[in-house]
Amino acid sequence: MRKILIPLAVLAAALVTAAVGGRGDVAAAAPAATPGCAPDTLNLLNDGQLTIGTDNPAYPPWFGGGETKGQPWKINDPATGKGFESAVAYAVAKQLGFTKAQVTWVYTPFNRAIAPGKKQFDFAINQISYTPARAKVLTFSESYYNVNQSVVAVKGKRIASVRSLKGLKSYKLGAQLGTTSYQFIVNRIKPSQRPAVFDTNDAAVAALKNGQIDGLVVDLPTAFYVTAVQVPNGKIVGQFAATGNQERFGMVFQKGNPLVACVNKALRTLKRNGTLAKIQQTWLAKVTGAPVLR
Amino acid sequence: MAGLVWAVTSAPNWPEVRDAFFDMDAYRRSFPSIARAFLLNVKIFLIAEGIVLVTALLLAVLRSLPGPVFFPLRLLATAYADLFRGIPTILVIALLGFGAPALGIEGIPTSTTFWGVVSLVLVYTAYVSEVYRAGIESVHPSQEAAARSLGLTRTQSLRTVVLPQAVRRVIPPLLNDFIGLQKDTALVGVLGSVEAFKQAQIEVSADFNFTHYLVSATLFVAITIPLARFVDWLVARDRRQRQAGRLV
């Protein structure tokens, strides 16, 4: 009996190994895939392609790598994979099983990304903060970055020496239309002068340089770019500590898009294995030191 | 009309459209803030209108001065009208509103309201001067000839004979341009000023309800209709006075 059993067992083991080994080969060929989220099962705009939306110009530190000749992207090309948001997007894409070539970027102005309606992207990544009002018309992913607001001014002006939130009340502040920065001015700072509201952040920066506004409220990393490049004689007056819910960035999806479940799984993996922290360290390490205004 | 209303309201998506564009709660909520912002539009419009009425007339007169000695003036006037009718108004506002203060020259105002008014004045002087010019040229040359033959100088005949007739003739197209000016005050929002349209945008971006746009639309229409009726009355009264006794 044993003479038959042992060869039978060996044969069975060999058959099982062959079967499992076969599947294992296929699994190993694809990059670290998220279970249940293979690219061909996902709800995508274009099959086999991950379409990501972001605004143009693509500013540092969110994007890097400079412009690519022949591409319409200004300042940086999101497809380089450099810059915080570009790196996070490609890390999520890789986690879902997409190759770099399968990721395409599409121009989406900020105002169009946060408005209701049919989206031309699978998700958009563009320093978009979660708010309950936006969550009613869009689907947000989990946080990929916790963000603080800050205020930028021109060096030498009186506002530049303000040390507290209350001290900002008497100045003319500005922010981009529809942003949490604008909400912050209206709900937390509550200045005595009606704030100026601009269609784009560039217009706000121009107004700051012209002295048409005294202070510009933007998120802290953007403030670093503004003072480093756009307004060389500018300085970050300070950042604001979060009170209550910490403001956080999320990727935005068409309302009800089931793709968010897989993207969230991917984000959680990236947080767990330290990839997200590494990306943050690479691109945002220099953009955290600013006095806190209370 | 009733059929159109019925067709719209019984369409399958009407409830969504109604909630997005005709939400009366949203209308009431944002009306006070948009109305307050509308005061900026009114301020810009009133100041610009007053200046344009005068500068456009000057430009039109310059353009109609006869003789080779006035050629440089006519050329300048023509070039001005072509330039400022050619550049889109929003471009002029952006160019001057952002560009002029950026020069950093001492004494140049940085106020966005100031540059909004200046830009609108520059653009609408060009348009309105053409309207005046059409009016001046529509006055029969025999009128000027008669005035000159009575011993009036060119300036006097222009001031007392030609211009009164010319201006009366072009009151409807003048009104047309001023209604356009009223609407174009909304473009000053590109400089960051919070006027009615910008305030509506702020409200819409907060709760994604488009009814707020309707609020600013109704405010703009509300100032247009009385003005249009007033001008209709002016024109009718003027026609009555000029054609006193005629049946037609």
pLDDT in tens, B110-142: 899 999 999 999 999 999 999 999 999 999 999
* Predicted-complex ipTM score: 0.81
State how many domains chain A has. 2
Give the domain extent around B94: 42-192
CA gyration radius for chain B?
A: 23
Answer whether B206 sits within 8 Å of A204, measured CB to CB.
Answer: no
- Span between the terminal Cα atoms of chain B, in Å: 33
Average pLDDT value over all residues in chain A: 88
A28 class by beta-carbon count within 10 Å (0-12 exposed, 13-18 middle, 19+ buried): exposed
Judge whether A153 and A251 are in contact, CB under 8 Å.
no
- State yes or no: pLDDT of B52 exceeds 60: yes
Judge whether B122 and B89 are in contact, CB under 8 Å.
no
Give yes or no for A200 touching B (CB within 8 A). Answer: no
Residue A209 lies in a domain: yes
pLDDT category of residue A30 using cuts at 50, 70 and 90: very low
Judge whether B196 and B219 are in contact, CB under 8 Å.
yes
Query: What φ, ψ does residue B182 adopt, rounded to 5°?
Result: -55, -45
Residue B56 lies in a domain: yes
- State yes or no: pLDDT of B30 exceeds 60: yes
A1 vs B222, which has greater pLDDT? B222
Give yes or no for A116 touching B (CB within 8 A). Answer: yes
Judge whether B186 and B41 are in contact, CB under 8 Å.
yes
Answer whether B98 sits within 8 Å of A206, measured CB to CB.
Answer: yes
pLDDT category of residue A116 using cuts at 50, 70 and 90: confident
Residue A25 has what pLDDT?
Answer: 43
- A85 with A128, same domain: the answer is yes
The string of pLDDT tens digits covering residues B164-212 is: 999 988 998 999 999 999 999 999 999 999 999 999 999 998 888 889 9
- A114 with A125, same domain: the answer is yes
- What's the CA gap between A73 and A71, in Å, rounded? 6
Residue A27 lies in a domain: no
Residue A2 lies in a domain: no
Answer whether B101 sits within 8 Å of A111, measured CB to CB.
Answer: no
3-state DSSP of chain B: CHHHHHHHHCCCCHHHHHHHHCCHHHHHHHHHHHHHHHHHHHHHHHHHHHHHHHHHHHHHHHHCCCCHHHHHHHHHHHHHHHHHHHCCHHHHHHHHHHHHHHCCCCCCCCCHHHHHHHHHHHHHHHHHHHHHHHHHHHCCHHHHHHHHHCCCCHHHHHHHHHHHHHHHHCHHHHHHHHHHHHHHHHHHHHHCCCCHHHHHHHHHHHHCCCHHHHHHHHHHHHHHHHHHHHHHHHHHHHHHHHCCCCCC
Provide residues of B within 8 Å CB-CB of chain A: 98, 101-102, 110-112, 189-194, 198, 201-202, 205-208
CATH of the domain at A169: 3.40.190.10
Query: What DSSP designation does A186 have?
Result: I
Query: What φ, ψ does residue B121 adopt, rounded to 5°?
Result: -60, -45
- What's the CA gap between A269 and A35, in Å, rounded? 11
Rounded mean pLDDT, A147-163: 94
pLDDT category of residue B148 using cuts at 50, 70 and 90: very high
Domain boundary among A198, A222, A240: A240
- Interface size, chain A vs chain B, as Cβ–Cβ contacts under 8 Å: 61
Amino acid at A21: G
Give the domain extent around A178: 149-240
Judge whether A47 and A32 are in contact, CB under 8 Å.
no
- A161 with A282, same domain: the answer is no
Residue A27 has what pLDDT?
Answer: 42
Residue A3, token pair as written in the block: 């003479």
Q: How far is CA A125 from CA A55, A102, A120, in A?
A: 9, 17, 13
Residue A138 CA, chain-centre distance (Å), reads 15
Residue B56 has what pLDDT?
Answer: 96
Residue A4 lies in a domain: no
- A61 with A142, same domain: the answer is yes
Judge whether A165 and A104 are in contact, CB under 8 Å.
no
Judge whether A119 and A139 are in contact, CB under 8 Å.
no
A103 three-state secondary structure: strand
- A204 with A160, same domain: the answer is yes
Give yes or no for A206 touching B (CB within 8 A). Answer: yes
Judge whether B193 and B116 are in contact, CB under 8 Å.
yes
Judge whether B141 and B110 are in contact, CB under 8 Å.
no
A154 beta partners: A234
- State yes or no: pLDDT of A263 exceeds 90: yes
DSSP A201-226: HHHHHHHHHHTSSSEEEEEHHHHHHI
The string of pLDDT tens digits covering residues A210-245 is: 999 999 999 999 999 999 899 999 999 999 988 888
Answer whether B192 sits within 8 Å of A196, measured CB to CB.
Answer: yes
Residue A32 lies in a domain: no
Distance from CA of B69 to the nearest CA of A (A): 43
B13 vs B159, which has greater pLDDT? B159
Residue B246 has what pLDDT?
Answer: 62
Domain boundary among A199, A215, A240: A240
State how many domains chain B has. 1
Query: Which chain A residue has its CA at the smallest distance from B97's CA?
Result: A207
Residue A73 lies in a domain: yes
Residue A13 has what pLDDT?
Answer: 52
Query: What DSSP designation does A177 have?
Result: T
- A192 with A221, same domain: the answer is yes
- State yes or no: pLDDT of B2 exceeds 90: no
Residue A21 has what pLDDT?
Answer: 46
- State yes or no: pLDDT of A111 exceeds 70: yes
- State yes or no: pLDDT of B4 exceeds 60: yes
Residue A286 has what pLDDT?
Answer: 79
Q: What percentage of chain A reaches a pLDDT higher than 70?
A: 89
- A215 with A257, same domain: the answer is no
Residue B26, token pair as written in the block: 């949203």
Residue A94 lies in a domain: yes
Is the link from the previous residue into A221 a cis peptide, with omega within 30 of 0? no
Query: What DSSP designation does A291 have?
Result: P
Chain B hits for A213, Cβ within 8 Å: 192
Residue B39 has what pLDDT?
Answer: 96
Candidate from B111, B202, B208 with C-beta closest to A197: B202
The string of pLDDT tens digits covering residues A264-283 is: 999 999 999 999 999 999 99
- A101 with A48, same domain: the answer is yes
Residue A15 has what pLDDT?
Answer: 54
- What's the CA gap between A55 and A201, in Å, rounded? 11
Residue B83 lies in a domain: yes
pLDDT category of residue A26 using cuts at 50, 70 and 90: very low
- A54 with A196, same domain: the answer is no
- What's the CA gap between B232 and B225, in Å, rounded? 11
- State yes or no: pLDDT of A91 exceeds 90: yes
- What's the CA gap between A132 and A152, in Å, rounded? 27
- State yes or no: pLDDT of A7 exceeds 90: no
A51 three-state secondary structure: strand
Q: What percentage of chain A reaches a pLDDT higher than 90?
A: 73
CATH of the domain at B102: 1.10.3720.10
Residue A10 lies in a domain: no
- A193 with A252, same domain: the answer is no
- What's the CA gap between A218 and A151, in Å, rounded? 6
Residue B25 lies in a domain: no
Residue B235 has what pLDDT?
Answer: 85
- What's the CA gap between A250 and A92, in Å, rounded? 13
Answer whether A204 sits within 8 Å of B198, measured CB to CB.
Answer: no
The string of pLDDT tens digits covering residues A170-183 is: 999 999 999 999 99
- What's the CA gap between A81 and A100, in Å, rounded? 9
Q: What percentage of chain B reaches a pLDDT higher than 90?
A: 72
**Most B-contacting residue of A212, A213, A255 (CB-CB within 10 A), to test interface:** A212
- What's the CA gap between A99 and B119, in Å, rounded? 51
B242 vs A143, which has greater pLDDT? A143
- A141 with A252, same domain: the answer is yes
- State yes or no: pLDDT of B11 exceeds 90: no
